[in-house]
Amino acid sequence: MKTIRIFSLMLATCGAAILPTYSSNAEDFDRRGGIAWEEIERLVAQGAVKESALLSHDTSDPYKDLPEEGAVLVGFEFIMTPFKKSPRTVRGIRAIFLTRHGEIKGAQHGAEVGKPTDMNVVARPGYAVGKVTGQFDGVAIRRLRIHFQRIDGVKLDANDAYDSSWFGIYDRNLTTEATIETRDHVPVGIAGRSGWGLDGMKLVFVE
């Protein structure tokens, strides 16, 4: 399965930007972003992390992905399935992390049926997930958009940022929109609630 990186907002019929790829690793990110690996690893080991507000609903089973070795949240794989009149909605996610040794992936949360698709998003080298905007109905999250910010040590630069396009298609009149954020701190995990779908989501960050 290919990993894509968003460089501009190009709308595809599936509701996501599909662009060419290039490889990246921890060294590549460090050359462009200056990740403070030792400090991040120390803070995670000490439990010096906080959670953002919850996006969507506090129902179903709780989940949490927080790599023990210390990692930076740089993107997501999306599980997309049809739902009601929509041909493609976000039904689950898998976090993509960068460690000092390279990329790793978290567990799948959300849809028990469906496989990760090619509708993935990973930050440009030197950037990480700073905010996530979601649209959700009375049950679960249906669409997501990711906001990336440049990494500066254990903080994120709000003045150097960009957005992905929306992932998922759903009637806007049926949803509420909200945004969760790391308050310009480096993200190191995700948490939330999931069942048959992605019911809720939080960002975990060092502080």
**Could you tell me the pTM of the whole model?**
0.84
Q: Note the pLDDT of residue 85.
A: 84
Domains recognised in the chain with CATH numbers: 26-206 (2.100.10.30)
pLDDT tens string 152-195: 999 999 999 999 999 999 988 889 999 999 999 999 999 999 98
Q: What is the pLDDT of residue 96?
A: 98
Distance CA 152, CA 155 (A): 5
User: Which residue type is seen at 151?
Assistant: I
- Judged by DSSP in three states, 78 sits in strand
Q: Are 137 and 83 in contact (CB under 8 A)?
A: no
- pLDDT, tens digit, 9 for 90 and up, residues 19-72: 323 334 565 555 445 899 999 999 999 999 999 999 999 888 999 999 999 999
- d(C-alpha 109, C-alpha 107), whole Å: 6
Percent of the chain with pLDDT over 90: 66
SS3 85: coil
Vertex 130 angle, CA 100 and 39, to 5°: 35
The answer to whether the CB of 154 falls within 8 A of the CB of 185 is: yes
CB 141 within 8 A of CB 178: no
Among 130, 155, 67, residue whose Cα is nearest residue 104 = 67
Q: What is the pLDDT of residues 67-110, one digit of tens each?
A: 999 999 999 999 988 888 888 899 999 999 999 999 999 999 98
Token pair recorded at residue 7: 């460089």
Given pLDDT bands bounded at 50, 70 and 90, which one contains residue 149?
A: very high
At residue 62's C-alpha, the angle toward residues 123 and 143, to 5°, is 45
**Phi, psi of 124, rounded to the nearest 5 degrees:** -60, 155
CA-angle at 93, arms to 1 and 149, nearest 5° = 90
